[in-house]
Amino acid sequence: MFAGFMVSAWIVATMVATVAGFVGFFVVIRRSSFAAHVLPLAAFPGAAAADLLGMNELLGLVVFAGLGVAGISQLGRQDRHEVATALCLVTLLALGTLFLSMTREYSQSVYALLFGEVLGVSRSQILPIAVLSVMAVATTSLFFRPLLLDSLSPEMAATVGLSSRLMELQFLTVLALCTALVVPVVGALLVFSLMVGPASAARMLTDRPLMAALLSSGISVITVWIAIALAYLSNWPVGFFVGALSVVAYLSGRMCSAAAHEVTGEPDGTPPVYRRPSRAML
């Protein structure tokens, strides 16, 4: 389980899970699960194009994730982000189909891009993934309080001079970086499970935003570690265990929340309400 070829998988998976859990906190409180699902699917044509051109796959993912962000941002100017997101998905998926049809390793490329191949991660990928991980976490941390305020109270954010459009663009940019990191590990189809499941569980367990974000990262890392171990022992796909364990994490968080509500006598089934940041916090 800790053979030479597995070391890279453990290192990369840990970095990816940390970022996915941290960014996933904002995916949940901003109710952006659709974007978290669409951006990975929109980015995978970039990996297909990079494979076709003989370039670094990670570079292709970053470029096309950026194109997805630009498309959603520009087409969503009339406050119809769900339509803009869907249009970007359709366009980029069409390009992905074209690129994959032009490569000789069609079936293998499709499987790796859609379902991930963490056990095939090479040591040469560790450094660029580490750089992107630091960028994503640093950017999210830098804008943590403004993003939190805009997520919980856009009206208050406007009164202190924060632009909701700019906050949305910054959030989508970080989400695009996270997408580029996670797709090679768990695949485009399961990225949102790694970001949404642990974050939803953490959301149920604490009413402190920073603690919830850190807890989400911890749950995400544990999820990936267990998934890799189970995949190694069973020879089943890592993505399957990531998806299944994310659901288990959410259900566990919901049960713990229900038990806490039962003890305190509060209404059951509702996550804690975060205290809105004050002007002083910004």
Name residues whose C-beta falls within 8 Å of residue 77's C-beta, 6 or more positions apart in sequence.
Answer: none
pLDDT of residue 78: 52
- If one counts every other C-beta atom within 10 angstroms of the C-beta of residue 268, the result is 12
Angle at 117 (CA atoms; ends 102, 94), nearest 5 degrees: 35
Helix, strand, coil content of the chain in percent (nearest 5): 80, 0, 20
The token duo for 101 is: 């049809």
User: How far, in Å, are 166, 167, 174, 223 from residue 161 at the CA level?
Assistant: 11, 11, 21, 39
Q: Which CATH code is given to the segment(s) 4-281?
A: 1.10.3470.10
Give the count of alpha carbons within 13 A of 253, CB side only.
26
Distance CA 119, CA 6 (A): 7
pLDDT at 65: 77
pTM (predicted TM-score): 0.79
Q: How far is CA 158 from CA 75, 166, 232, 259, 276, in A?
A: 22, 11, 50, 37, 14
Per-residue pLDDT 10s for the chain (282 aa) are 656 667 878 888 899 889 999 999 998 998 877 777 777 777 777 777 877 787 777 777 778 777 777 777 666 555 556 676 777 777 777 887 787 777 665 556 566 666 667 766 777 778 888 888 898 899 899 989 999 988 888 888 888 888 888 888 888 888 888 877 777 777 776 777 888 899 999 988 888 899 999 999 999 999 999 988 898 888 888 878 888 999 999 999 888 888 876 766 555 555 555 544 444 434
Which DSSP category does 2 fall into? -
DSSP 8-state symbol, 143: T
C-alpha distance from residue 156 to each of 46, 76, 160, 161, 271 (Å) = 38, 22, 7, 9, 22
